[in-house]
Amino acid sequence: MEVKIDTKEKFSVVSPVTTVLSANIAAEMIEICNKLLHQPVKNVILNMAAVTGIDATAAGVITDLQQQFYEKNASFVICNLSDAVSQMLDQLDLTELLNITPTESEAWDIVQMEEIERELLDGDDINFETNS
């Protein structure tokens, strides 16, 4: 699968160049994303701007990848879906399970907010006083 990967400070943008995501391409996507998950910058934005079609297997892989990232305290946000891809995800009842934004800029915002949230929740120095 031909993809462009642009690594930023807090995330990598993975942009498939192919127009249709199929089962074969999904297997390659798993490999690419798993490598990124084990890098210092492990958050991923999947920019689907070039993708005009997706099959059920690839959609399932994307859903599983997102879950895997969140289990490892990393973000996985999808952006720039075409109408056809959105409709397929709706038909498969996956839209509600996925973290989807209309634009890459909004995906950046989500990743940064989730990073801040993780930092706050992981902080040991937070003390909550109780009223007795």
For the chain, which residues make up each domain, given as ranges? 3-122
Cα separation values, 124 from 75, 111, 128, 130, Å: 22, 22, 11, 17
Q: What is the pLDDT of residues 48-100, one digit of tens each?
A: 999 999 999 999 999 999 999 999 999 999 999 999 999 999 999 999 999 99
75 contacts 115 by C-beta, under 8 angstroms: yes
Query: What angle do helix axes 56-71 and 23-37 make, rounded to 10 degrees?
Result: 10
pTM value?
A: 0.88
What's the chain's length in residues? 132
- Residue that wins the pLDDT comparison between 129 and 16: 16
> What is the pLDDT, as a whole number, of residue 46?
96
pLDDT digits (tens, 9 = 90+) for 14-61: 999 999 999 888 888 899 999 999 999 999 999 999 999 999 999 999
**CA distance from start to end of the chain:** 60
Band of residue 121 on the pLDDT scale cut at 50, 70, 90: confident
Q: What residue type is 59 in one-letter code?
A: A
- The CATH number that domain 3-122 falls under is 3.30.750.24
